């Protein structure tokens, strides 16, 4: 897949307090981003899946530039800007992109299935919450085990649902919105396994999800936005230290 970002985001380090907002590029949607944020990655995946031409401005979330609050009232990423108009929140952004750029369609045309997908996004909170428990357990075995238990309970639901649908992916033969919305955390699963020193998503316990992950890794939008587990791990260590390196490897995007 040809990467369609016309303004190379890797040349623009994370903007900090006191900086001036980079000038807009005519005709391009802009995404305010933090390279290692899974919520922001959601928006980038959809932009890639829709072949949208876009520009990225990376933000230092510890020292946010003053102008960023005009671009994101809550000071969070992702936020997009289109012709001077602003939209925030990853799910809102992704739904907007799916409507404005209808090909390929990512939501099911069946209202019931669309609702089911939304329900499973809520269930996925068990997985993400469990991951963060593991990250921040800091040697506390009770916290770590609680995190793993919650994550596996969520993964159990997703394994069962994929078996019910009898498809390779939740969207069928191709990724749908649910597939893309949960992918950023599944991309980070090897980091969780590194922190707890054990395999979580094994082929024996989760044969459907195991195959799902292999299939998703072939997707062009996933490839265009992926970061290696090694880099994710290095970044997370800096974040846990209290000094996150937002510019880590910005000059060497893993998808190029």
Residues identified as active-site: 37
Q: Which of 253, 255, 189, 256 is nearest to 58 (CA)?
A: 253
Gap between the Cα atoms of 45 and 43, Å rounded: 5
Rounded (5°) CA angle 161-165-170: 75
SS3 category, 113:
helix
What's the helix, strand, coil split of the chain in %, to 5?
50, 10, 40
Gap between the Cα atoms of 148 and 192, Å rounded: 9
Rounded (5°) CA angle 13-247-65: 55
Gap between the Cα atoms of 199 and 191, Å rounded: 10
Gap between the Cα atoms of 22 and 28, Å rounded: 13
Check whether the bond before 78 is cis (ω within 30° of 0). Answer: yes
Q: For 13, left (φ over 0), alpha (ψ -120 to 50), or beta?
A: beta
């Amino acid at each position: 897949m040809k990467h369609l970002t016309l303004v190379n985001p890797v040349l623009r380090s994370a903007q900090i307090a006191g900086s001036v907002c980079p000038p807009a590029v005519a005709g391009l949607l802009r995404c305010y981003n933090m390279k290692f944020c899974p919520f922001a990655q959601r928006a980038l995946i959809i932009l890639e899946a829709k072949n949208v031409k876009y520009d990225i401005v990376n933000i230092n979330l510890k020292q946010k530039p003053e102008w960023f609050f005009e671009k994101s009232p809550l000071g969070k990423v992702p936020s997009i800007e289109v012709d001077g108009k602003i939209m925030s929140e990853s799910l809102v952004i992704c739904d907007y992109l799916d409507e404005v750029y209808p090909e390929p369609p990512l939501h099911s045309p069946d209202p019931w299935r669309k609702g089911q997908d939304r329900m499973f996004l809520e269930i996925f909170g068990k997985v993400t919450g469990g991951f963060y428990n593991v990250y921040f357990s800091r040697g506390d075995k009770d916290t770590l085990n609680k995190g793993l238990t919650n994550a596996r309970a969520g993964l159990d639901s997703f394994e069962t649902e994929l078996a019910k649908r009898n498809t390779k992916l939740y969207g069928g033969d191709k990724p749908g919105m649910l597939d893309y919305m949960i992918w950023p955390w599944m991309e980070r699963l090897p980091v969780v396994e590194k922190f707890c020193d054990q395999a979580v998503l094994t082929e024996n316990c989760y044969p459907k999800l195991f195959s799902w992950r292999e299939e998703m890794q072939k997707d062009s939008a996933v490839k265009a936005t992926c970061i290696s587990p090694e880099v994710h791990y290095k970044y997370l260590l800096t974040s846990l230290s209290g000094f996150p390196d937002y510019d880590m490897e910005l000059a060497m995007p893993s998808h190029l």
